[in-house]
Every structure is written in C-alpha cells, then in structure tokens.
Chains A and B, each alone.
Chain A
C-alpha cells in the first residue's frame, strides 16, 4: 500500500471508478439526480476512507456499497425512473416495427425487467442491480456487507422471478444471449 488516503490519491480513485459508479446510479435513478448521488458517494467515501479495509484489492465494491446506501435517499426518483423506462421502451418497441425483431424483443425485455424490478424487495433489487453491473458474488457480499450465501439466495430468487416475467412475454433466450 503506497500511502494513507490523501486527496491526491482520492483523485485517482475518482478517476478510476467514477464512470462505473455513475452508470450504476444512473441505471437506478436516471440522470436527473445522478450527479448528486455520485458526488455524495465519493464525498462519503472520502470521509470514511480510514474505515476502508486495506486488505481488499480494489475500492470498487466498497464504493458500490456506499452508492447503494446513498441511493436509498432517492427512492422516489428510482421508482419514477423505472416507470419511465417501461414507458420509453414501449414507445421504442412500437416505433421499431420495421426494425430487427430481436431489437424490439430486447426492448420488451428491458421493459419487463423494469416492471419486475419494481415488484421485488429492495434487498433483492440491490443484489440484482449490482450483479447486472458486473460484480461477482464475493464483491456483492463486500458491497452490501452480507454473507455470500445470502447474495446467492437473493440472486436465485430474483432470477426465478425475472425468468417467469420474461417467459410470460414470450422472450426467447437466443435474443437475450445475443450481443447487447
């Protein structure tokens, strides 16, 4: 470990991870309040830097954890944004009648996911969003400060619900496994 957490290092941490934290927050609450949420996340991280466990190889899961807590303050914005996604993707799906079928199906899938994510518990939702952002089970466990077994059981329950929702819309796995 090179140094104790000072501001110069902090700039490095921001530059390395802010993009990912932004995408995570923006996916959950949209872009209206995302700047505030990301800024709050990093300010809190700076204030708590002494509590970061230096044994972890990367600060990223820890930052995701802070962001997840910050996002609790944006509950209303998050719910509004999911509604918007459902609506936007409906529009896209309708206007895309002439476009490739898989594109329309993917939009339907996004809409379905937004709808389903609205119905599940926040604790399950946290795990699913972090998993969608590309975190491993172990990283999600660090971020949310829960045992890895809990991560896996929440994820499995979430997957079951999402699968049912997607199947109900007749979405095939071929479409979903194609390139994003």
Chain B
C-alpha cells in the first residue's frame, strides 16, 4: 500500500465527518460577534472599515484576505461586556419596528462620536450584487453580477467623491440554468469585468463645475452637526427635502429612501444622537415593517426594516451588534421577468473609514 492510499484514507476520514449546516454557522457567527462586541471608547477611532463581505450567493474565488492586518489597532479587553449578547438577541427577536429601533437607539446611546477634526478622506467601499435582465426572442433572461465601487471624499467638504474607482461585472453568473441557456442563445457577454477610474486630477471631465455645497446630498460633519436630533424635527427637514424634489411619487417611500441614503452615505460621520434620530424617523414612516428574525446581507447577519412599494420591498439592514448600517437590499415581492417572488434583486454593503489621502485604503 502506497503513501497515496493512506493519504486517501485520511482525506476520506475527514470528508465523512460532520459538515456544518448554514444555520449552525449563522448561530456561531452571532455568538462570536456578540462576544467580540466592544463599545467605542473616547479617543478611539472606531470607524468601520472598507472591507466588505462577499455575498453568500456569490463566492468570490481567489479573493484577497484583508484581515487581519498589522498591529495598528489596539486589542480589546479579553471579555465582552456582560449582557451584550442579550441585547443583540433582543434586537434580533424584536417583532415591531418601534421595538427594534428603541433597542438599537439604546445601543447607539453608548457610542462615542468620532474624532473628525483632523480632516482626511472618507473612504467608502461598496459591494453591490444586482440582478440584471436582458430580453431576447425567448423572453427575459437574468444574471447576477457584482460591482465594487470605491470612493474617496474630503471629510471637511462632504461626501461627494474626489476620486472614484468602479469595477463592474465581477462574479457574474446566470440567475438559473434556464437563464444561462437563454443568455448563451442571445450571445450576451455578461462576464466581462471592467474597471473605471474617475479622477479629476488626471481627467478634467470628472471635476465638478462648482464646489459642492454642504447639504443632505453632500453632508459635511458641520452640516450633520447642524441637523436636529429630535426625530420629529429631523423628519420635517427630510420631508421638506422630499417636497423640494418636486411632486410625484409616494412621499412616504421617498422619505424612507432619504433616510436610507443619508444613513448609507454618511454612516461613518453620523454623530450618535443624529443616528438615533434617523432610526427613530425610520420607525415613523407609514408602512414600514420589521422583517422577522435576522437577514443575511452578503454573509453578514443583520436586522431589516422594510418598506414595500411598486412590487419591491426595500430593506435597510442594521447591524444589531454595532447599531451601524450594514447596507440595504431590494426584494421582488411578486414574480416578474421570469424571476420567482422573493428574489433579491439588489443588495449592497458599504463600509467606511478615514484615510489620509485619496486612493489610500488604510
């Protein structure tokens, strides 16, 4: 008997062992994240980072390991705060939007504001999965594709980017085998990966016509600090912005979108009282619902607050541990374009951190 035969026996021994159920891993993940949760401390740069999880549906082959990195970050105390896991579970188990938001807000209240006084650049890395549909003689055919967008904006000047890098078409695959057959018949090349860099320093066409003003579309730390932290007054500011966009559309849905847009673009910049107020505004939008239990957003467990309109349910996904935004996703509530009801047509996660210069990631 050869070494290879013994090796084969060993491998077989391993492969016939118990394999994890996704639910087992999700439970362990929750426990680990709860145990490693740490409240932000004064003076600590508690920014979330630019790495985004790979969607469970799209396993990126050969992805670079981003973590762990150098010794720059201080280590946390060995034991998690008592009760942290219980709060996370309570948030996950809450059965209404007001109950969820109340618990999340209590958690936000313990957070410390970030030190944004030293300038620098806000680096946002967003990973978005979307379903695209092309139509040919045999009807619609859909594929899933992934885009990564990296943006750098000067913290003091708002969130409009100074530099953007986009990569399109990553990990593209048909939504179903039937879609794959149609796409092949149509000759659609959906697997091409393209990268675009929008850098005003090298190409003037990307330079803004005028310096952008601080505002909801371009929040600066100073502008965010000027917003009311009373939920009723904040809702009035946001509703006024919706009205300024002109008539048309469902005002409640537009308010929901405004809240999610601000929470997403300025996530790392939000002072805790404003974050609390934003989430409380969310709870007052007519028609919002809590998605029961936890949802998986690109492999990260979160709790979702949803609003349904035009056959699509938009979900804002919060991290019950950190109370930060994980991202959002859009789910088709009815079958359409050959896609079954419940298809996640879009999901995005974004992470933000402060760096020194545009183009830097750490």
Does B3 sit at the interface, judged by CB under 8 A?
yes
Neighbour of B67 across the interface among A5, A19, A159, CB < 8 A: A5
Query: Pick the contact of B1 from A6, A58, A163 — CB < 8 Å?
Result: A163
Which of the residues A10, A31, A50, A159 comes within 8 Å of B36, measured between beta carbons?
A10
CB–CB A46/B32 < 8 A = yes
Can you name 27 A-B residue pairings with CB atoms under 8 Å? A1-B69, A2-B66, A4-B68, A7-B37, A8-B51, A9-B69, A10-B33, A11-B300, A12-B299, A14-B33, A15-B54, A27-B18, A31-B18, A43-B36, A47-B36, A47-B76, A49-B67, A49-B73, A59-B67, A59-B68, A109-B9, A132-B11, A166-B5, A172-B1, A176-B1, A176-B6, A177-B4
Q: Which of B19-27, B106-114, B252-260, B307-315 contacts A (4 or more CB under 8 A)?
A: B19-27
List residues of chain B with CB within 8 A of the CB of A128. 10
Complex contacts, A57 vs chain B, CB 8 Å? 65
Interface class of chain A by DSSP: helix
Q: Which single residue of chain A is at the shortest CB-CB distance from B9? A: A176
CB distance from B144 to the nearest CB of A (A): 18
B15 within 8 A of A: yes
Q: Kindly state whether residue A26 has any CB partner on chain B within 8 Å.
A: yes
**A131 interface residue per 8 A CB criterion:** yes
Q: Is A64 an interface residue (CB 8 A)?
A: no
Mark A124-152 against chain B: 1 for CB-CB distance below 8 A, else 0: 00001101111000000000000000000
| Bound-complex Cα distance A88 to B361 (A) | 52
Q: A3-B353, A47-B36 are in contact. List 17 more A-B contacts (CB 8 A).
A: A2-B362, A8-B51, A10-B36, A10-B67, A12-B52, A14-B29, A15-B56, A22-B28, A23-B17, A35-B28, A39-B32, A50-B70, A57-B65, A109-B9, A132-B10, A176-B5, A176-B9
**Chain B residues whose C-beta falls within 8 Å of the C-beta of A3 in the assembled complex:** 49-51, 66-67, 69, 353, 361-362
- Indicate whether A176 sits within 8 Å of B68 (C-beta atoms), given known contacts A15-B53, A46-B32: no
Contact among B2, B13, B361 for A132, CB-based, below 8 A? B13
Q: Which residue of A lies closest to B296 (CB)?
A: A15
| CB–CB A9/B10 < 8 A | no
Binding site for B on A (CB under 8 A): 1-16, 18-19, 22-24, 26-27, 30-31, 34-35, 38-39, 42-43, 45-52, 54, 57-59, 106, 109-110, 113-114, 128-129, 131-134, 159, 162-163, 166-167, 171-173, 176-177, 180
Residues of B within 8 A of A58 (CB): 65
A13 and B68 contacting across the interface, CB-CB below 8 Å: yes
Complex contact A173–B28 (CB within 8 A): no
Q: Mark B29-63, 1 if CB is under 8 A from A, else 0.
A: 10111011100000000011111111010000001
Instruction: Chain A residues near B5: list those with CB within 8 A.
Output: 163, 166, 173, 176-177
| CB pair B68 A9 closer than 8 Å | yes
**Interchain CB contact under 8 A, A113 and B17:** no
B7, B27, B362: which contacts A1 (Cβ < 8 A)? B362
Tell me whether B177 is interfacial, beta carbon within 8 Å: no
Measured between alpha carbons, how far is A1 from B35 in the docked complex, in Å? Answer: 26
Q: Which residue of A lies closest to B19 (CB)?
A: A23
- Residues from chain A with a CB closer than 8 A to the CB of B36 are 7, 10, 42-43, 46-47
- Contact yes or no, A176 B8, CB < 8 A: yes
Residues of B within 8 A of A166 (CB): 1, 5-6, 9
Complex interface: chain B residues within 8 A of A132 (CB) = 10-11, 13-14
A7 touches B8 (CB 8 A): no
* Structural contact, A12 and B361, CB atoms closer than 8 A: no
